[in-house]
Chain A
Amino acid sequence: MGWRVVVDMDLCESNAVCMAVLPEVFEVRDDDLLYVLDETPPDSMRAKAEEAVARCPKQAIAIVEA
């Protein structure tokens, strides 16, 4: 089963909490915007991705099963 990381950019406030949890996937750049570096990370990152979902203060991140 594949899965994807989706960020609702209307909710995201670029506080970079997700980047602290999983920098391989989430990056806040100097323009203060969040970039999802890899929308379909390997399964080995699933637990960390779920932690990012739980940690995002804006609840902007979702994991979608594809």
Chain B
Amino acid sequence: MLRRIAVVGASLAGWHAATTLRREGFDGELTVIGAEAEPPYDRPPLSKAFLATGDESKVVLAGVADRETLGITWRLGRRATALRLADRTVDLDDGSEVAFDGLVLAGGADVRTLPSLPVGDGVHALRTLADARALRADLDRRPGPVLVVGAGFIGAEVAATCRQSGRDVVLVEAAAVPLERAVGAEIGAVCAALHREHGVDLRLGTAVVGRDGPGAVTLDDGTTVDAAVVVVGVGVSPATGWLEGSGLAIADGVVCDGTGLAAPGVVAAGDIARWPNALFFGDSMRVEHWDNAIDMGAFVARRLLAGEDWDPAEVFAPVPWFWSDQYDRKLQMAGRATGADQMHIAGGTLEERRFVAMYGRAGRLVAAFGMNRPRHIVQSRGLIARGCPWDEARELAATWI
């Protein structure tokens, strides 16, 4: 019987783990520790509606207003600094400690930055509400072009939002094609074209060298970009620093078994967790998507409560899913294109910027990426979940007009 559960990370995965624990009947002590000052909020609007409008109601997470009614001890603005597994204790940065019988690791990921372009004086990273507030304030204060470094999903959204509010945008990407690892070169090229069609000055295969005083950012092609504001969007790394030496396996994330268990009585969920996904040939996965943080947060809460009574056959094997809003397009992806050996376009054409790109691996549908095709991405997700054979999926998709 667990009497005390600690959750480290007061964001999407931590919130859904905590509320699930209560819903499943856990009535012991529940402590949620979060390094940010804010109670759980919603990150996706930070690069979309909030960045566009500054309206903080956009980042409110459903249900969080009732957080004080759940019998949770909130330790916000506090960072966990060490995990002492043998003592079943977490140390906090104010010198206090939290004892637990059950632990949920939901610390998410930290934004990466570039040594050549340190944050500050007009240079921003974007992960937290505090980051987004600072970026907005700077955009208001400093008129002129915006330089976005990195054309991944977050960089692309920032570029799109800034363009839509009338700013000149230069988007620099070190790779020859953006998003190649996620969607392949052909679809990555479509994403690149989308930026150019909306007036973004996209520089592919180009890296940042450094900065010559405020404004002037030098690139490795010898040119200089005069930017009023710079946003660095070069990805995130799992926030596992404080867990080094704890005895947990750390390898680009907290390594879990197929049920989200990292050690007896310790589970992990969301951006920080790595686990083998049985649905994808047992590939080790770490998923940086909103939907996964919700799903996995709830799953591992049940896993933790069940302890040794858990049926080991019940593994966490979802079809990852995410969306990204860019300009007037809704980009969505279900599944994983990693290792895909087939690709097929259905439900429109690349030229229309309205299509589904289907990816097959070992004779099965494993992923689908859509532009303005939400319904078919939902359908694809169902097909991927049931391991739909590639040929059958192609036939079904023939009706997606």
List CB contacts (< 8 Å) of A14-64 with chain B: 14-17, 19-20, 28-30, 32, 53-55, 57, 59
Instruction: Count chain B CB atoms within 10 A of each CB in A16, A19, A29, A53 and give the residue with the most.
Output: A16
CB distance from A22 to the nearest CB of B (A): 12
Contacts of A17 in B (CB 8 A): 291, 378
B374 & A32 in contact (Cβ 8 Å cutoff) = yes
Contact with A along B361-382 (1 / 0, CB 8 A): 0000000000010110110011
CB distance from B185 to the nearest CB of A (A): 26
Complex CA distance for A17 and B334, rounded to whole angstroms: 12
A59 & B378 in contact (Cβ 8 Å cutoff) = no
How many positions in chain B have a CB within 8 Å of any CB in the partner chain? 19
Contacts of A29 in B (CB 8 A): 375
Q: Is B332 an interface residue (CB 8 A)?
A: yes
Q: Is the interface of A mostly helix, strand, loop or mixed?
A: loop
Contact with A along B283-322 (1 / 0, CB 8 A): 0000000110010000000000000000000000000000
Contacts of B173 in A (CB 8 A): none
B382 & A20 in contact (Cβ 8 Å cutoff) = yes
A57 & B382 in contact (Cβ 8 Å cutoff) = no
Q: Is A8 an interface residue (CB 8 A)?
A: no
Q: Is B44 an interface residue (CB 8 A)?
A: yes
Give the interface size class of chain A: 10 to 19
Complex CA distance for A63 and B401, rounded to whole angstroms: 33
B interface vs A, CB < 8 Å?
44, 60, 62-63, 290-291, 294, 323, 325, 330, 332, 372, 374-375, 377-378, 381-382, 401
Complex CA distance for A53 and B330, rounded to whole angstroms: 20
Closest to A56 in B: B62
CB distance from B324 to the nearest CB of A (A): 11
Q: List 17 A-B contacts (CB under 8 A).
A: A13-B325, A14-B330, A14-B374, A16-B375, A19-B375, A19-B378, A20-B381, A20-B382, A28-B375, A28-B378, A32-B372, A32-B374, A32-B375, A53-B62, A54-B62, A54-B63, A55-B291
CB distance from A3 to the nearest CB of B (A): 17
CB distance from B60 to the nearest CB of A (A): 8
B62 & A59 in contact (Cβ 8 Å cutoff) = yes
A57 & B62 in contact (Cβ 8 Å cutoff) = no
CB distance from A43 to the nearest CB of B (A): 19
Contact of A28 among B63, B290, B374, B381 (CB under 8 A): B374
